[in-house]
Amino acid sequence: MNELILILDFGGQYKELIARMVRSLHVYSEIKQGKTPADEVKKLAPKGIILTGGPNSVFSEGAPQCDPAVFDLGIPVLGICYGMQMMCHLLGGRVEAGNAGEYGRIETAIESDSPLMCDIKANPKVLMSHTDQVIELPQGFKRTASTANCLNAACEDQSRNLYGVQFHPEVAHSDCGRELMRNFLFGVCGASGSYQLDDYIEKSIRAIREKVGGKRVLLALSGGVDSSVCAALLSKAVGEQLTCIFVDHGLMRQNEGNDIEKIFSKKKLNFIRINAAERFLRKLKGVKKPERKRKIIGEEFVRVFEEESRQFNDMAFLAQGTIYPDIIESGGEFGDTIKSHHNVGGLPDNLSFEGVIEPLAGLFKDEVRIIGRKLGLPDRIVNRQPFPGPGLAIRVMGEVTARKLELLRKADHIVCSEIERLHNKPQQYFAVLTDVRSVGVKGDHRTYDYVIAVRAVNTSDFMTCEYTPLPHKILTRIASRITSEIKQVSRVVYDITGKPPATVEWE
């Protein structure tokens, strides 16, 4: 059985980053609700507990908190941001609203030879995102780090194995984050680091077989990384009990529908393609709000599946390639919804399936790719560009029409073909058809046509990202080709915003 690091969630948007970092250090992690009772925590026998950040204040009415008995279990605890504030508050410390909040990368002074701070440089820059702060530490605690505006940026009670950091070690913006987490897992918790993704595959296969039994499974196979890996995993688990349906909603990239059929119709799968482009466009007519578009597409996906599944008498389960970022961005018990995903928030309550299977729901995109390679999928599938479930509908700003989709496909094809010339490519890149028109001049004529935005980002986890500083030569060629080859476009702009404050997608 794998060693476990239990992550108690208090609504922080980075909670899956914590889980990902722990797993990347070869220690298994699971996320549970912050209010999980201490008795249940004890039964899980974790090597350590991590309390996540969150959007609340410890003073807010109904503010989430853990069972205080968790601190008496003798299990090492690391509180992060709100997790540190809550721990200190529950143990008798004093938390107050600071005179000035701290946001962004802040230089931090390490003030102790704490086991948590072992081999960390004296003044690392770390990501801070807080207004409240711990003013007085609980009895038995000592300060281990500080900043110019936060006296207690980290603290500990070594005798009880309780540790807290006000900053976020789980994000790439923190210089010392990985070292600090390694110190907690191995120096404090005594973990062995034996977890491998092979364990995840075998565990998932057992869970799928136990849930499905002899019944049949229906999967939406888009040909993207997530659905393809999901199909490979389900095929390994239940074999011919799996039917894969490719719903061509007409929102795919250029030539992608035909490519998907060419690849997967030759596999040992029951592959069915449904051409439903006109149906989806009718449903999207006049709709401009991004959340509404996502909901409509999600609901229509399910309707199409239900209709198609009627030809099967015993189709019991609907499978989906949902992954961790889908779940965190769709909100949680204490989190703020950033956007809904068609395979999470868009599903209606009246599904005519016995249940839903989401075997990748605990994985990040990079982990999904690793699983895909281990399952034998080709690189052209495993390394495919990330693509949202609602497709180009959320890259067409405003109302979606057949004319706009065709325009965007051409622009996106140009963007991708030019960027793919680079030796070091960004991790995601695409075009967006904005809902803005701009004055231009083509030949001797004044034009008033669309503006195309180009997006290219680098990220380790898709929870945060930085824009890619593409060479001007590439950007110039992209702009020249788009405005020359697509007569309805008069201007091309480049998006240089990171996440946060933006998201990867525009809608």
Phi, psi of 45 (to 5 degrees): 50, 55
For residue 465, the 8-state DSSP code is B
Q: Which residues contact 136 (CB under 8 A, 6 or more apart)?
A: 93, 94
The C-alpha R_g of the chain, in whole angstroms, comes to 25
The full DSSP string for 389-408 is TTGGGGTB-SS--HHHHHHH
Task: Measure Cα distances from 179 to 118, 187, 486 in Å.
Answer: 8, 11, 50
Q: Note if 26 is an active site residue.
A: no
For residue 325, count other CB atoms closer than 10 A to its CB.
Answer: 20
The residue written with tokens 């603290």 in the block is 155
Considering only CA atoms, which of 22, 328, 322 is closest in space to residue 186? Answer: 22
Considering only CA atoms, which of 72, 76, 24 is closest in space to residue 50? Answer: 76
In angstroms, the CA 119 to CA 338 distance is 37
Selected catalytic residue, list 3, 16, 170, 418: 170
Q: Which residues contact 449 (CB under 8 A, 6 or more apart)?
A: 437, 438, 440, 487, 488, 489, 490, 491
**Residue 302 burial by CB count (10 A; 0-12/13-18/19+): exposed, middle or buried?**
buried
Q: Which amino acid is at 83?
A: G
CA angle 462, 371, 353 (to 5 degrees): 85
Q: Note if 418 is an active site residue.
A: no
For residue 115, the 8-state DSSP code is G
In angstroms, the CA 3 to CA 236 distance is 26
The answer to whether 7 and 29 are in contact (CB under 8 A) is yes
Q: Which amino acid is at 469?
A: P
Selected catalytic residue, list 66, 81, 189, 230: 81
Q: Note if 81 is an active site residue.
A: yes
In angstroms, the CA 103 to CA 167 distance is 10
**Pairing mode of beta strands 77-80, 162-165:** parallel
What 3-state DSSP class applies to 467?
strand
Cα atoms in the 13 Å half-sphere on the side-chain side of 402: 7
Selected catalytic residue, list 66, 130, 156, 168: 168
Q: Please give the structure tokens belonging to residue 138.
A: 């609980």
- Catalytic site residues? 81, 168, 170
